[in-house]
Amino acid sequence: MSGVNRIDSAFAGLKGEGRIGLFPYLTAGYPDRASCTRLLRVMADAGADAFELGIPFSDPLADGVTMQITSAKSLAQGTTLADAFDIVAEFRQTHDTPIVMMSYVNPLLAYGFERLCADAARIGVDGFIVPDMPLEEAEELAETAKKHGLHYVYFLAPTSDAGRIEAVGAQSSGFIYCVALVGTTGARTELSDELPAFLARARAATSTPLVVGFGISTPAHVARLVGMADGAIVSSAIANLI
Protein backbone atom coordinates (compact mmCIF):
# COMPACT_ATOMS: atom_id res chain seq x y z
CA MET A 1 0.00 0.00 0.00
CA SER A 2 1.12 3.55 -0.74
CA GLY A 3 0.18 4.76 2.74
CA VAL A 4 -3.33 5.79 1.71
CA ASN A 5 -5.95 3.19 2.56
CA ARG A 6 -7.73 1.86 -0.55
CA ILE A 7 -11.10 2.64 1.05
CA ASP A 8 -10.20 6.31 1.36
CA SER A 9 -9.00 6.37 -2.24
CA ALA A 10 -12.22 4.72 -3.40
CA PHE A 11 -14.44 7.27 -1.68
CA ALA A 12 -12.35 10.15 -2.98
CA GLY A 13 -12.81 8.78 -6.48
CA LEU A 14 -16.55 8.31 -6.01
CA LYS A 15 -16.91 11.87 -4.73
CA GLY A 16 -15.00 13.18 -7.73
CA GLU A 17 -17.28 11.23 -10.08
CA GLY A 18 -20.41 12.28 -8.21
CA ARG A 19 -21.76 8.79 -7.75
CA ILE A 20 -22.61 6.23 -5.10
CA GLY A 21 -20.40 3.17 -4.60
CA LEU A 22 -21.54 -0.44 -5.08
CA PHE A 23 -20.07 -2.83 -2.52
CA PRO A 24 -20.94 -6.49 -3.16
CA TYR A 25 -20.75 -8.91 -0.23
CA LEU A 26 -19.34 -12.40 -0.66
CA THR A 27 -18.92 -15.11 1.97
CA ALA A 28 -15.34 -16.36 1.91
CA GLY A 29 -15.26 -19.90 0.51
CA TYR A 30 -18.80 -19.83 -0.88
CA PRO A 31 -19.86 -21.56 -3.03
CA ASP A 32 -16.27 -22.86 -2.91
CA ARG A 33 -12.89 -21.25 -2.58
CA ALA A 34 -11.98 -21.16 -6.28
CA SER A 35 -15.39 -19.77 -7.26
CA CYS A 36 -15.23 -17.13 -4.53
CA THR A 37 -11.90 -15.83 -5.86
CA ARG A 38 -13.23 -15.88 -9.42
CA LEU A 39 -16.39 -13.98 -8.37
CA LEU A 40 -14.29 -11.27 -6.72
CA ARG A 41 -12.37 -10.80 -9.95
CA VAL A 42 -15.46 -10.87 -12.17
CA MET A 43 -17.28 -8.33 -9.99
CA ALA A 44 -14.23 -6.07 -9.80
CA ASP A 45 -13.91 -6.16 -13.58
CA ALA A 46 -17.64 -5.36 -13.84
CA GLY A 47 -17.20 -2.21 -11.76
CA ALA A 48 -17.55 -3.08 -8.07
CA ASP A 49 -16.13 -0.21 -6.03
CA ALA A 50 -15.21 -2.27 -2.95
CA PHE A 51 -16.05 -5.61 -1.36
CA GLU A 52 -17.27 -6.85 1.98
CA LEU A 53 -15.84 -10.35 2.45
CA GLY A 54 -17.57 -12.32 5.17
CA ILE A 55 -15.76 -14.80 7.40
CA PRO A 56 -18.03 -17.84 7.85
CA PHE A 57 -19.15 -18.33 11.44
CA SER A 58 -21.27 -20.91 13.21
CA ASP A 59 -23.61 -18.41 14.92
CA PRO A 60 -24.07 -15.43 12.56
CA LEU A 61 -26.60 -13.57 14.73
CA ALA A 62 -26.97 -10.52 12.45
CA ASP A 63 -27.62 -12.61 9.35
CA GLY A 64 -30.86 -13.80 7.83
CA VAL A 65 -31.48 -17.24 6.39
CA THR A 66 -29.67 -16.71 3.07
CA MET A 67 -26.39 -15.61 4.62
CA GLN A 68 -26.68 -18.26 7.34
CA ILE A 69 -26.78 -20.85 4.55
CA THR A 70 -23.72 -19.44 2.78
CA SER A 71 -21.81 -19.43 6.06
CA ALA A 72 -22.83 -23.00 6.93
CA LYS A 73 -21.90 -24.32 3.48
CA SER A 74 -18.53 -22.59 3.60
CA LEU A 75 -17.80 -23.93 7.07
CA ALA A 76 -18.75 -27.42 5.91
CA GLN A 77 -15.89 -27.15 3.42
CA GLY A 78 -13.51 -26.25 6.24
CA THR A 79 -13.09 -22.54 5.43
CA THR A 80 -11.11 -20.62 8.05
CA LEU A 81 -9.98 -17.03 8.56
CA ALA A 82 -6.60 -18.06 7.15
CA ASP A 83 -8.35 -19.34 4.01
CA ALA A 84 -10.10 -15.98 3.66
CA PHE A 85 -6.71 -14.27 3.82
CA ASP A 86 -5.49 -16.61 1.08
CA ILE A 87 -8.46 -15.62 -1.10
CA VAL A 88 -7.58 -11.95 -0.65
CA ALA A 89 -3.93 -12.65 -1.42
CA GLU A 90 -4.91 -14.39 -4.67
CA PHE A 91 -7.20 -11.50 -5.60
CA ARG A 92 -4.42 -8.99 -4.90
CA GLN A 93 -2.26 -10.59 -7.57
CA THR A 94 -4.50 -8.98 -10.19
CA HIS A 95 -6.77 -6.38 -8.55
CA ASP A 96 -6.54 -3.39 -6.19
CA THR A 97 -10.26 -3.04 -5.34
CA PRO A 98 -10.73 -2.40 -1.58
CA ILE A 99 -11.77 -5.32 0.63
CA VAL A 100 -13.23 -4.99 4.11
CA MET A 101 -13.57 -8.22 6.08
CA MET A 102 -16.74 -8.81 8.06
CA SER A 103 -16.37 -11.22 10.95
CA TYR A 104 -18.02 -11.93 14.25
CA VAL A 105 -15.56 -11.32 17.04
CA ASN A 106 -14.77 -14.91 18.14
CA PRO A 107 -12.63 -15.89 15.11
CA LEU A 108 -10.73 -12.60 15.41
CA LEU A 109 -10.06 -13.11 19.11
CA ALA A 110 -8.85 -16.63 18.43
CA TYR A 111 -6.48 -15.34 15.75
CA GLY A 112 -5.23 -12.51 17.98
CA PHE A 113 -5.79 -8.83 17.16
CA GLU A 114 -2.14 -7.89 16.63
CA ARG A 115 -1.43 -10.86 14.38
CA LEU A 116 -4.75 -10.32 12.62
CA CYS A 117 -4.08 -6.71 11.70
CA ALA A 118 -0.45 -7.27 10.77
CA ASP A 119 -1.40 -10.15 8.45
CA ALA A 120 -4.37 -8.24 7.04
CA ALA A 121 -2.24 -5.21 6.16
CA ARG A 122 0.47 -7.37 4.61
CA ILE A 123 -1.99 -9.39 2.51
CA GLY A 124 -4.09 -6.47 1.31
CA VAL A 125 -7.20 -6.25 3.51
CA ASP A 126 -8.31 -2.67 4.13
CA GLY A 127 -10.46 -2.88 7.24
CA PHE A 128 -12.80 -4.85 9.49
CA ILE A 129 -16.51 -4.89 10.25
CA VAL A 130 -17.52 -6.71 13.46
CA PRO A 131 -21.31 -6.70 14.00
CA ASP A 132 -21.27 -8.23 17.50
CA MET A 133 -18.68 -5.87 19.01
CA PRO A 134 -20.23 -2.52 19.99
CA LEU A 135 -18.45 0.80 20.24
CA GLU A 136 -17.74 0.39 23.96
CA GLU A 137 -15.82 -2.86 23.41
CA ALA A 138 -14.04 -2.07 20.14
CA GLU A 139 -11.19 0.16 21.31
CA GLU A 140 -8.45 -2.51 21.29
CA LEU A 141 -9.20 -3.79 17.80
CA ALA A 142 -9.86 -0.30 16.42
CA GLU A 143 -6.53 1.00 17.75
CA THR A 144 -4.62 -2.04 16.52
CA ALA A 145 -6.21 -1.71 13.10
CA LYS A 146 -5.34 2.00 12.96
CA LYS A 147 -1.72 1.23 13.84
CA HIS A 148 -1.51 -0.99 10.77
CA GLY A 149 -3.24 1.48 8.43
CA LEU A 150 -6.59 -0.34 8.50
CA HIS A 151 -10.08 0.97 9.17
CA TYR A 152 -12.40 -0.34 11.85
CA VAL A 153 -15.97 0.21 10.66
CA TYR A 154 -18.67 1.05 13.20
CA PHE A 155 -22.40 0.45 12.87
CA LEU A 156 -25.39 2.74 13.20
CA ALA A 157 -29.01 1.64 13.07
CA PRO A 158 -32.35 3.41 12.76
CA THR A 159 -32.73 2.88 16.53
CA SER A 160 -29.45 4.72 17.31
CA ASP A 161 -30.11 7.80 19.41
CA ALA A 162 -28.38 11.16 19.04
CA GLY A 163 -25.70 10.29 21.59
CA ARG A 164 -24.81 7.05 19.84
CA ILE A 165 -24.70 8.71 16.42
CA GLU A 166 -22.44 11.46 17.75
CA ALA A 167 -20.11 8.96 19.46
CA VAL A 168 -19.79 6.76 16.38
CA GLY A 169 -19.30 9.81 14.18
CA ALA A 170 -16.43 10.99 16.36
CA GLN A 171 -14.67 7.59 16.39
CA SER A 172 -15.35 6.53 12.81
CA SER A 173 -12.90 6.09 9.97
CA GLY A 174 -13.21 4.68 6.48
CA PHE A 175 -16.98 4.58 6.49
CA ILE A 176 -19.93 3.99 8.80
CA TYR A 177 -22.11 0.96 8.16
CA CYS A 178 -25.69 2.23 8.31
CA VAL A 179 -28.18 -0.59 8.85
CA ALA A 180 -31.17 0.08 6.61
CA LEU A 181 -33.74 -1.68 8.78
CA VAL A 182 -34.41 -3.18 12.18
CA GLY A 183 -33.75 -6.91 11.85
CA THR A 184 -31.33 -9.31 10.19
CA THR A 185 -29.83 -9.30 6.71
CA GLY A 186 -31.93 -10.49 3.79
CA ALA A 187 -33.28 -9.35 0.45
CA ARG A 188 -36.30 -7.04 0.71
CA THR A 189 -38.77 -5.66 -1.80
CA GLU A 190 -38.93 -2.18 -0.25
CA LEU A 191 -36.65 0.03 1.79
CA SER A 192 -37.79 1.36 5.15
CA ASP A 193 -39.65 4.67 5.14
CA GLU A 194 -37.50 5.63 8.14
CA LEU A 195 -34.26 5.37 6.18
CA PRO A 196 -34.04 8.95 4.79
CA ALA A 197 -34.51 10.55 8.22
CA PHE A 198 -32.02 8.16 9.81
CA LEU A 199 -29.37 8.87 7.18
CA ALA A 200 -29.99 12.60 7.51
CA ARG A 201 -29.33 12.37 11.26
CA ALA A 202 -26.13 10.41 10.64
CA ARG A 203 -24.94 12.80 7.94
CA ALA A 204 -25.48 15.80 10.24
CA ALA A 205 -23.20 14.22 12.85
CA THR A 206 -20.20 13.19 10.75
CA SER A 207 -18.31 13.76 7.51
CA THR A 208 -17.30 10.07 7.36
CA PRO A 209 -18.83 8.30 4.32
CA LEU A 210 -22.09 6.46 4.98
CA VAL A 211 -22.60 3.01 3.47
CA VAL A 212 -26.02 1.36 3.70
CA GLY A 213 -26.56 -2.38 4.05
CA PHE A 214 -29.25 -4.91 5.08
CA GLY A 215 -32.03 -5.41 2.57
CA ILE A 216 -30.46 -3.54 -0.37
CA SER A 217 -31.61 -5.84 -3.16
CA THR A 218 -32.31 -4.02 -6.43
CA PRO A 219 -30.91 -1.27 -8.66
CA ALA A 220 -33.90 0.84 -7.61
CA HIS A 221 -32.87 0.51 -3.95
CA VAL A 222 -29.36 1.76 -4.76
CA ALA A 223 -30.77 4.60 -6.86
CA ARG A 224 -32.92 5.71 -3.91
CA LEU A 225 -29.80 6.14 -1.82
CA VAL A 226 -28.20 8.66 -4.18
CA GLY A 227 -27.79 11.94 -2.34
CA MET A 228 -28.33 10.25 1.05
CA ALA A 229 -25.42 7.80 1.26
CA ASP A 230 -22.00 7.22 -0.25
CA GLY A 231 -22.23 3.49 -0.84
CA ALA A 232 -24.52 0.47 -0.82
CA ILE A 233 -23.74 -3.08 0.30
CA VAL A 234 -25.62 -5.87 -1.49
CA SER A 235 -25.39 -9.31 0.11
CA SER A 236 -28.38 -11.66 0.18
CA ALA A 237 -29.60 -10.69 -3.29
CA ILE A 238 -26.19 -11.64 -4.73
CA ALA A 239 -25.98 -14.82 -2.63
CA ASN A 240 -29.41 -15.88 -3.92
CA LEU A 241 -28.13 -15.53 -7.49
CA ILE A 242 -24.99 -17.53 -6.69
Assign residue 40 a region: left if phi > 0, alpha if psi is -120 to 50, beta otherwise? alpha
Mean pLDDT of 74-95: 97
> What is the model's pLDDT at position 151?
98
Single pTM value for the model = 0.92
112 pLDDT higher than 50: yes
pLDDT in tens, 119-178: 999 999 999 999 999 899 999 999 999 999 999 999 999 999 999 999 999 999 999 999
Percentage with pLDDT > 90 across the chain: 83
55 pLDDT higher than 70: yes
> What is the model's pLDDT at position 1?
44
Mean pLDDT of 7-28: 96
d(CA 132, CA 162): 21
pLDDT in tens, 173-211: 999 999 987 544 544 455 668 899 999 999 999 999 999
> What is the model's pLDDT at position 192?
67
Mean pLDDT of 75-84: 96
d(CA 21, CA 44): 12
> What is the model's pLDDT at position 57?
87
| Geometric angle at alpha carbon 211, from 118 and 175, rounded to 5° | 40
More confident residue, 97 or 58: 97
236 pLDDT higher than 70: yes
> What is the model's pLDDT at position 189?
53
> What is the model's pLDDT at position 217?
87
2 pLDDT higher than 60: no
SS3 letters across the chain = CCCCCHHHHHHHHHHHHCCCEEEEEEECCCCCHHHHHHHHHHHHHCCCCCEEEECCCCCCCCCCHHHHHHHHHHHHCCCCHHHHHHHHHHHHCCCCCCEEEECCHHHHHHHCHHHHHHHHHHHCCCEEECCCCCHHHCHHHHHHHHHCCCEEECEECCCCCHHHHHHHHHHCCCCEEEECCCCCCCCCCCCCCCHHHHHHHHHHHCCCCEEEECCCCCHHHHHHHECCECEEEECHHHHHHC
> What is the model's pLDDT at position 59?
81
62 pLDDT higher than 80: no
> What is the model's pLDDT at position 63?
79
> What is the model's pLDDT at position 184?
47
Catalytic residue ranges: 52, 63
92 pLDDT higher than 70: yes
pLDDT, averaged across the chain: 92
> What is the model's pLDDT at position 186?
43
